[in-house]
Amino acid sequence: MTKLLLVGCGPHARTFYLPALSRMQERGERVQVAAVVELVSQQEAAAQYLDSSLPAARRIFLEPFSGGRMPSSVAAELRRAVRECGIDGVIISTDPLNHKAYAMWACRMGLHVLLDKPVTTRVNAALDAREAGGLVRDYRQILRAYEESYLRHKNVFLVCAHRRYHPGLDLALKTIGEVSGQTGCPVTNIHSYHCDGQWRLPAEMATQAHHSYYDGHGKVSHSGYHFLDSVARFWKAGLNSGKRADAVEVVSSFVRPAGLLRQFAREDYMRLFGEEYAGTCPENDAELGNRFSSYGEIDAEICATFLSGGEPMALATLSLLHNGCSRRSWMCPGTDLYKGNGRVKHEQHRIHVGPFLGLQIHSYQAKDRHDACQAGDEAPGGNNHYEIFVFRNTGIIGGKPFERLGAEDFERQGVLAPDRLHIDQIKEGALAEFLRCVNGPFDRKTLRSGLADHALGIELMSAAYLSHARRLRRKNPIARIQMPE
C-alpha cells in the first residue's frame, strides 16, 4: 500500500487529486492518503470535507508561515506524521508561495514528490526585480536538494504540469521534432494564447485567495506557467535540427487591477447591477486604485527572442489573460471559484518550423459548467474541444498538405475515453506517473515532467516578471537569460 501525505486540501486537491485517487482505488490501485496538512484558518471547511471523503486520514492543522523557510516545530510535526503513518510520498498542493518550504523539507526526508505548478512564486514577483530573479534561485536550490536526495533515496520529483500528458501535445512535439530533424531547421516562431474567461469584480480582487493578485503576482504564476512551459517544450522539440540558441531576451507588459478600473469603472458596474453594487464595493475607484498599486498581473503579453551569437533566430510571444469572455452575469461570486463562477477557457498555439511546417492547436469552451461532458462536446465550444491543424511543405518533407486531428480522433484511438472530461483524464496522467515511480524503479530520462526538465520554463517566468519590474522603475525592460543546458 502506497501511503501519501497531502499538503493542502484546497480547490485543486478537492477537484482533482482526491477524486482522481478515489477513481484509482476503485480500479484496484493500492494507494491511500494517510495524512492531510491544512491551515488552521481552513480547519472548519477542511474538516467538513475530510469527514465525508477521508475520515481515517490524520489531520494536521498549521499556522501560516512565510519566507520559504519551514519553522522547526512544523518540520518536527511533519516528520512525526511521516514516521507514524508510514508515508512514502507527498503531494504538495498549497499556495505556490509555500512550495519551496515543503519541497525542500520533502527532499530532506527522502520522500517522493508531486508538486503543483508553478515550482515556486514570490510575494511581489511582478514588482520587485530581486523577487523576480529569486524564482530561478529557488528552483536551483530545490533542484540541488533533490539531486542530493536522489543519490541516497532514488526518489522521484515530478511537477504537475498536466498539459505535458496531453496526447495532442505529444503529437505536436513529435511532428515538430521529425520535421526539424529532416530539414535541419529549428522552430522559428511560436505564439501561445490562453484566456481563463474570468470576470472578477473589483472588491473581489482584495478578498479572493484563490489565484489571488494581492501578493504582487498573478496570471503568470497561475495558469500562465503552463504556457511558458509549453513554449519551452515547443522550442526544445526543434533541437533535432542541431541548431541551438545560447540566450533569450524577454520583454513583458502587464495589465494589473488598477488598469481594470480604467476599462470598466464604478459607474459602469452600477449601470449593470444597480445600487446593490455599492453595498458590495464601498470604495470608489480612486481608493481601489491606491489599494491595487501593489497587486500582480491580470493579463500579460510576453515576447521572447531566441538568440544565437547575438543574432535573433526565433521569436515567441505569449498572450496570457485572466480577463476575457466569461459567462458570468451575476454580481455575487459562486462558491466554486476553480471551475465555476462563469469561467470559460480558450487556448491556442501556433508553431512554425521555417517554410516547412505550420502547426496549430485550438481549444475553445463556451460552457461554464465543466463537471461532465456530453455528446458533441468535441466540437468548438464543448468541454472536450481540441483540434490540431498541420500544414506541410509536401514538396520538401512529403506527407499531406493539410491534416486535422480532433478530440474525437483521440477517442477512436482509445487514448481518451468519450464519457469523461478529457482534461480530467489528462491530469490523471501526472498522478499515474507519480504512483508508478513510487512503486517501482524508474528512468529519470523518460519522465514526462521531471523537475530538471523545467529549467527553461522557470527562466522564462522569472524573466517575464523581471522585465515588468524594470518597466515600473523606468529601466530597460529587456531581461536577458542564458539558455539552460
What is d(CA 62, CA 65) in angstroms, rounded to the nearest whole number? 9
At 77 the pLDDT is 97
**For residue 388, what are the CA distances in angstroms to 203, 324, 351, 429, 466?**
39, 23, 11, 20, 33
Report the CATH architecture of 2-160: 3-Layer(aba) Sandwich (3.40)
The amino acid sitting at 72 is S
pLDDT reported for residue 409: 95
Tell me the C-alpha distance between 86 and 107, whole Å: 16
Residue 195, C-alpha cell as written in the block: 484566456
Q: At a CB cut-off of 8 Å and minimum separation 6, what does 414 contact? A: none
CB 161 within 8 A of CB 456: no
Domain residue extents for the chain: 2-160, 162-256+295-416+451-482
Q: What is the pLDDT along the chain (485 residues), one digit of tens a residue?
A: 999 999 999 888 998 999 999 999 999 999 999 999 999 999 988 888 899 889 999 999 999 998 788 999 999 999 999 999 999 999 999 999 999 999 999 999 999 999 999 999 999 999 999 999 999 999 999 999 999 999 999 999 999 999 999 999 999 999 999 999 999 999 999 999 999 998 999 999 988 888 899 999 999 999 999 999 999 999 999 999 999 999 999 999 999 999 999 999 999 999 999 999 998 999 999 999 999 999 999 999 999 999 999 999 999 999 999 999 999 999 988 777 666 788 899 999 999 999 999 999 999 999 888 778 888 999 999 999 999 999 999 999 999 999 999 999 999 999 999 989 999 999 999 999 999 999 999 999 999 999 999 999 999 999 999 999 999 999 999 999 999 87
Strands (E), 110-266: 112-116, 157-160, 189-198, 247-255
Confirm or reject CATH 3.90.700.10 for domain 162-256+295-416+451-482, answering yes or no.
no
Measured distance CA(192)–CA(69) in Å, rounded = 34
